[in-house]
Structure 1
Amino acid sequence: MLAFIALLALCSVYLSTVAAQAAVELDYGTFIGVEDSTTGVTSFKGVRFAEPPTGEFRWKAPVFPPTTQLGTVNASAFGNACIPVPQSTVVAGTSEDCLFANVYIPSGAISNSSLPVMVWFHGGGFQTGNSRANAIPLMQAAPSPGMIFVSFEYRLGQFGFLAGSTFAVANGSLNAGMLDQRTGLQWVQKYISSFGGDPTQVTIWGESAGAGATMFHLIANGGDQEGLFRASMGDSSSLSFMPDFDSDYLDGVFDLFASSAGCSSSSDIMACLTAADANIIASAGTQVLKNRTSTLFVFAPCIDGSFLATRPVEAFASGAFSQVPVLFGSNTDEGANWSAELPNPAANTSEPNATETTVYNFLAGQWPTLSNASFTAALELYPLTDYDNSLSLQGQQMYGEARYICTGMMIAAAATRQGFNSFQYHYDNPDQGSDHGADLTGLFDSASGFSGNDSALFVAMQQYWASFVTAQDPNATDAAAWTTVTNSTSGGPRILLHPGALAMENVTDAQAARCAFWHSISAEIST
């Protein structure tokens, strides 16, 4: 009998120990995570990191730290994603109340583990996407004792990036979606140690708009990262049109949005918009996109005069950015298929009657201030004969380099000029594709699901990315050594991520010249 009682006591201690490993107590709630013995990862999903940005807090900076006491929270399922554009109604799984984090830790991590932290910002043009990434392959690739992976939701589209003179005068928070991200980084500083993380070892990472976001965090506040991160990574950083908050362009977007929401005739337009049902706000954003038939992403970060006061090209040229190690890069076919998505045939280079004017219309839809003179100059650098006389391929290369490829080169070169370790990559995979976003297959999917050279490439990529987080130096077992950038103009050399051909390569003079051109007209096109 005594032995049985002792066994019960032992089991009780064991169960409480397991429960303690899967529970984290913060000052506003206790979060119960899920420990997966198969993967060796414990997850905490749907962790609120700020007060809901609803009601009077719509279009306001997030309220942090959270003030509402949550009690015990079952953190086994993702929280609501932020409402994307175009989504005309609030559907299940999305909500204005969406400021949630997901935290993945090595099972057995305790509050004093002091593990490095990777923070992920999702892509989607600041209009779509969510934080539900598969962190397991990267976590398993991290050198012992491992790392922590955190992802954040942030407000999208008209909920996160509405601007204009009327909006600003009414004290709407400009770039609210970026402020959500910044608040997420503040949450990490305050609370990640409770999950076993080290707040001094945070690396921010994102893809597409998420990589654009890591770029913006580098230049925010004049380059003061406020101790929020020690390194930055970006896959296909987006160099989008970035007008002043009170520009005619953004005033026009706001007016169209307010009209679509039924508030343009109100004596207090912002009060009307703030009081409107979320379904009306969602529908109005969709109507704006339907009206801008040549533009891929209408809602995006703008120059707000404070948090983002300088555009990227100027900031990186002048050295006014956070002085931290960086890892940035892009894919071969970044510009593929974008024009074909546009409903305006005059800007769709896939149309059978397309001309070079169509290519210009496509580019001008993304950078509305691009002049015909600058486009004509660009044609000299992108002769049609270099692209099999295909207007679609010509426009693809122009867009891919101007928006994504040249941005990574710019950031890598700038960090090198400032004396910080800088790494650049070029993803080129004919097996799985090299379009925009294709590299994420090699980072978030299990390499065991692929064979041969693809599997080996993806194993190496996951190790490179994870080791940059843990040691600020991308290394992989039995793979090419990834060396730092030494050319402070082109951002080369860079590693070629190609199945069966992992190696360092130089940036060609021709590509460097094309990128220099796009950055030389940054004042004209507001980049």
Structure 2
Amino acid sequence: MLTLKAFFALCSVYTSIVAGQATVELDYGTFTGVEDSTTGVTSFKGVRFAEPPTGNQRWKAPVFPPTTQLGTVNATSFGNACIPVPQSTVVSGTSEDCLFTNVYVPLGATSDSNLPVMVWFHGGGFQTGNSRANAIPLMQSAPEPGIVFVSFEYRLGQFGFLAGSTFAAANGSLNAGMLDQRTGLQWVQRYISSFGGDPTKVTIWGESAGAGATMFHLIANGGDQEGLFRASMGDSSSLSFMPDSDSDYLNGVFDLFAGFADCSSSSDVMACLTAADANTIASAGTQVLQNRTSTLFVFAPCIDGTFLATRPVEAFASGEFAQVPVLFGSNTDEGANWSAELPNPAANTSEPDATETTVYNFLAGQWPTLSNTSFTAALELYPLSDYNNSLSLQGQQMYGEARYICTGLMIAAAATRQGFNSFQYHYDNPDQGSDHGADLTALFDSASGFTGNDAALFVAMQQFWTSFVAAQDPNATDTTTWTAVTNSTSGSPRILLHPGAIAMEDVTDAQAARCAFWHSISAEMST
């Protein structure tokens, strides 16, 4: 019998043609990449993985596999990034036609190499960001014989996460950006062996919204990962407001968007929006964001009833998630600086006349259904005196834990309850900063650009992450052993990633109690 892997191998062949170049022949095109003897990596950039989501395919699920024969494609530079919010026009380097992937493989890898695969989903609140990560430091830190690194573009903002009753009634695909990612994972299953990867050894990874995405893939389809990945990683997983697709909130966003796109008065609003040019759609989305002055991220995944039918807190509490090993964690100062970005002074805790009401407005801007009663209860867990009487510090700790820190603890604890290896980290770096996203410096920058304890920490982290991809067990040379989570309630212990002080630590009882509070009101917060 022809195995699934053997069948997919027939679809494509990896062949090196001349020095400095390599080709992969897929069933819809031949892609020529670059062999770099200095880095030891062969890269294929801007490889189309689905048909363009343009014209009548705007707001539709991606068409896969690609049906258009592309011939020979020069895969030496990145494809277009998806249009972000806020961006009022389609600028060079961005486009609706953006469903491209980038593949990095060790020099000399062939279709027989069967290397573990690390799939990266970028962050940016599902509104910004792109797939152009520097994979070289991670690839060079991976255990022999190496790994394959893959990154994907996915539709953002109003292009990828428009919702509402009118939208759904017109057969718009809810959570289209998430469906792009899922299609990317299907592409990996079908084609990655041709690049040297093993489709049975895929680990998904992301940061911020990208880590929120890996969380969503764990709970999608009731926890059926469809054989698309064997492990999941997340740096600062985002537990965002997740209303029903036909909620008043999302209907309001849709109506606002349609108005800014000059389609409100049309007899067929969706037909008008579909016919509008990309500049109009980009501008309308930006105006929506500018109109919601207390909200950081207006466009994000919602409950669609099929792909995402259960919210994260409920799914992880019930065990309805993919049963795979996980590695999740967060940074010390996840909540810093967010409120200061808000144009509404009533929700900006950095304003000189800020009050506890300002802190509430900041949080309610992100979770609109959070009640004042619950906020008052939260204040008892976050007494102002614990934060030097600083409303800004109090608000940032509330937001950082509710959105990012507690999410990783929740996922790690849930996986442990199900009997799977689960690893948790706490990144704390006073030298380089520990704000949201600061850990990406440690993972994507070359450690050779740093000195002393920072360099040693970054080397260890790159080894930890790639070792988990290779064997679902993070380990690094000459450093503390990272042990699995044992407490299935708190997600403890976790590894402290601190310059000169890499060590296991326990989650404090106080932090566990604060996280338990936020998750106890998940129905109210729509998380």
Report the TM-score range of the alignment, normalised by the length of the smaller protein: over 0.9
Structure 1 segment 76-95 matched on structure 2, within 5 A: 76-95=76-95
Match of 1:7 in 2: none
Structure 1 residue 18 displacement after superposition: 3.7
1:116 aligns to 2:116 (yes or no): yes
Structure 1 segment 241-390 matched on structure 2, within 5 A: 241-390=241-390
Match of 1:161 in 2: 161
CA distance change for structure 1 residues 16 and 159 in 2, over 3 Å: closer, same or farther?
closer
Note the aligned Cα RMSD (angstroms). Answer: 0.9
Structure-2 separation of matches of 1:38 and 1:112: 23
1:180 aligns to 2:159 (yes or no): no
Structure 1 residue 522 displacement after superposition: 0.1
Structure-2 separation of matches of 1:480 and 1:276: 56
Structure-2 separation of matches of 1:357 and 1:90: 38
Amino acid at match of 1:280: T
Structure 1 residue 21 displacement after superposition: 6.5
Structure-1 separation of matches of 2:164 and 2:361: 24
> 1:118-156, CA deviations, whole angstroms, 9 ceiling, x for partnerless residues?
000000000000000000000001111000000000000
Match of 1:8 in 2: none
Whether the aligned pair in 2 keeps the contact of 1:21 and 1:110 (CA below 8 Å) is no
> Percent same amino acid at aligned positions?
90
Structure-1 separation of matches of 2:78 and 2:19: 20
Residue 200 of structure 1 aligns to a residue in which SS?
A: strand
Whether the aligned pair in 1 keeps the contact of 2:60 and 2:172 (CA below 8 Å) is yes
4+ residue segments displaced more than 4 Å: none
Structure 1 residue 475 displacement after superposition: 0.4
Match of 1:438 in 2: 438
> 1:371-404, CA deviations, whole angstroms, 9 ceiling, x for partnerless residues?
0000000000000000000000000000000000
Structure 1 residue 17 displacement after superposition: 4.8
Structure 1 residue 19 displacement after superposition: 5.6
> 1:48-104, CA deviations, whole angstroms, 9 ceiling, x for partnerless residues?
000000000000000000000000000000000000000000000000000000000
Amino acid at match of 1:412: A
Match of 1:413 in 2: 413
Point out the structure with max Rg over C-alpha: 1
Match of 1:229 in 2: 229
Match of 2:68 in 1: 68
Structure-2 separation of matches of 1:16 and 1:497: 40
Amino acid at match of 2:22: A
1:56 aligns to 2:56 (yes or no): yes
Amino acid at match of 2:414: A
Structure-1 separation of matches of 2:19 and 2:260: 51
Residue 479 of structure 2 aligns to a residue in which SS?
A: coil
Amino acid at match of 1:61: A
Amino acid at match of 1:240: S
Whether the aligned pair in 1 keeps the contact of 2:21 and 2:34 (CA below 8 Å) is no
Residue 103 of structure 2 aligns to a residue in which SS?
A: strand
Structure 1 segment 475-490 matched on structure 2, within 5 A: 475-490=475-490
Whether the aligned pair in 1 keeps the contact of 2:130 and 2:153 (CA below 8 Å) is yes
Match of 2:514 in 1: 514
Structure-1 separation of matches of 2:159 and 2:106: 34
Structure 1 residue 327 displacement after superposition: 0.0
1:125 aligns to 2:131 (yes or no): no
Match of 2:469 in 1: 469
Structure-1 separation of matches of 2:27 and 2:466: 30
Amino acid at match of 1:442: A
Structure 1 residue 16 displacement after superposition: 6.5
Structure 1 residue 20 displacement after superposition: 9.8
Structure-2 separation of matches of 1:63 and 1:380: 51
Task: Flag structure 2 segments of 5+ consecutive residues without an equivalent.
Answer: 1-14
Amino acid at match of 2:519: H
Amino acid at match of 2:141: A
Whether the aligned pair in 1 keeps the contact of 2:16 and 2:23 (CA below 8 Å) is no
Structure-2 separation of matches of 1:107 and 1:72: 21
Match of 1:496 in 2: 496
CA distance change for structure 1 residues 521 and 427 in 2, over 3 Å: closer, same or farther?
same
Structure-2 separation of matches of 1:151 and 1:365: 31
Across the two proteins, how many residue pairs are aligned to each other? 513
Structure-2 separation of matches of 1:123 and 1:503: 27
Whether the aligned pair in 1 keeps the contact of 2:495 and 2:503 (CA below 8 Å) is yes
Structure-2 separation of matches of 1:462 and 1:258: 45
Structure 1 residue 230 displacement after superposition: 0.0
Amino acid at match of 2:192: I
Structure-1 separation of matches of 2:424 and 2:170: 42
Whether the aligned pair in 1 keeps the contact of 2:256 and 2:288 (CA below 8 Å) is yes
Residue 238 of structure 1 aligns to a residue in which SS?
A: coil
Whether the aligned pair in 1 keeps the contact of 2:21 and 2:32 (CA below 8 Å) is no
Structure-2 separation of matches of 1:389 and 1:293: 26
Match of 2:102 in 1: 102
Structure-1 separation of matches of 2:492 and 2:175: 32
Structure-2 separation of matches of 1:516 and 1:99: 39
CA distance change for structure 1 residues 370 and 213 in 2, over 3 Å: closer, same or farther?
same
Match of 2:9 in 1: none
> 1:505-526, CA deviations, whole angstroms, 9 ceiling, x for partnerless residues?
0000000000000000000000
Task: Flag structure 1 segments of 5+ consecutive residues without an equivalent.
Answer: 1-14
Residue 22 of structure 1 aligns to a residue in which SS?
A: strand
Structure-2 separation of matches of 1:322 and 1:203: 13
> 1:451-487, CA deviations, whole angstroms, 9 ceiling, x for partnerless residues?
0000000000000000000011000000110000000
Residue 98 of structure 2 aligns to a residue in which SS?
A: coil
Structure-1 separation of matches of 2:477 and 2:381: 40
CA distance change for structure 1 residues 65 and 55 in 2, over 3 Å: closer, same or farther?
same
Structure 1 residue 268 displacement after superposition: 0.1
Amino acid at match of 1:245: S
Structure-2 separation of matches of 1:384 and 1:456: 37
Amino acid at match of 1:373: T
Structure 1 segment 143-222 matched on structure 2, within 5 A: 143-222=143-222
Structure 1 residue 356 displacement after superposition: 0.2
Structure-1 separation of matches of 2:493 and 2:50: 41
Residue 33 of structure 1 aligns to a residue in which SS?
A: strand
Structure-2 separation of matches of 1:282 and 1:32: 32
Structure-2 separation of matches of 1:251 and 1:21: 50
Whether the aligned pair in 2 keeps the contact of 1:335 and 1:399 (CA below 8 Å) is yes
> 1:3-24, CA deviations, whole angstroms, 9 ceiling, x for partnerless residues?
xxxxxxxxxxxx9654697100
Structure-1 separation of matches of 2:213 and 2:180: 11
Residue 79 of structure 1 aligns to a residue in which SS?
A: coil
Structure-2 separation of matches of 1:17 and 1:393: 58
Amino acid at match of 1:352: P
Residue 199 of structure 1 aligns to a residue in which SS?
A: strand
